[in-house]
Amino acid sequence: MMIRVLRSIWALLVWLFLLLIPVQFYLAGHGAFEYHSTSASARSDAWGAHTGLGDLMLLISLIALLVALAGRLPRRTLISSGLLFVFMLIQFLLALSFGDNTSTRWIAALHPVNGLIVTGLIIMLAMRARQYLPFGPWRDAKASAAASPHPA
């Protein structure tokens, strides 16, 4: 019973993360245009929402990994959850560590490319997570398949 609850929590975290991806892309675009259209004193706030949501997404990916471990998810799904956290950590480090120095900005420029990797990973995880969601048509289909007798 507890394993099922943990797997449902993991699935909900994965889908929450997936829903935050387009919001994060929007905030990146907003930050870019705000940065170029405001005065130098207002530029420090241009990326604030994007940065804050990114920090939250890093935390969600860590919690999802911990819940996946506790929920004893299948190995491939567990590895994919671990990769999501690793790529989110890379995402965080690319923006934090390499963006302020002129000689390392070419490394920081990999931030959106890494974001595409994160997007692909979360889409794959969301497809795998459907079977663990506590609601939805896939839940009913799985329950009815388990209840039907198998031919001998």
pLDDT at 38 over 90: no
pLDDT for residue 143: 53
44-64 per-position pLDDT tens digit: 677 889 999 999 999 999 999
Q: Could you tell me if 107 and 49 are in contact, meaning their C-beta atoms sit under 8 angstroms apart?
A: no
136: left (phi over 0), alpha (psi -120 to 50) or beta: left
Report, as an integer, the average pLDDT of 32-43: 72
Write phi, then psi, for 25 (nearest 5 degrees): -65, -40
Q: Could you tell me if 133 and 12 are in contact, meaning their C-beta atoms sit under 8 angstroms apart?
A: yes
Q: Could you tell me if 88 and 58 are in contact, meaning their C-beta atoms sit under 8 angstroms apart?
A: yes
Provide CB contacts within 8 A for 15, sequence distance 6+: 126, 129, 133
Report, as an integer, the average pLDDT of 29-46: 75
Q: Is 108 exposed, middle or buried (0-12, 13-18, 19+ CB in 10 A)?
A: middle
83-115 per-position pLDDT tens digit: 999 999 999 999 888 777 778 888 989 999 999
When computed from its CA atoms, the radius of gyration of the chain, rounded to whole angstroms, is 19
Listed range (20-29, 38-47, 57-66) with the worst mean pLDDT: 38-47
Q: What is the pTM of this model?
A: 0.84
Looking up tokens 């099922």, which residue turns up?
4
Mean pLDDT of all residues in the chain? 87
Looking up tokens 């506590």, which residue turns up?
134
- Model confidence band, residue 32 (pLDDT cutoffs 50, 70, 90): confident
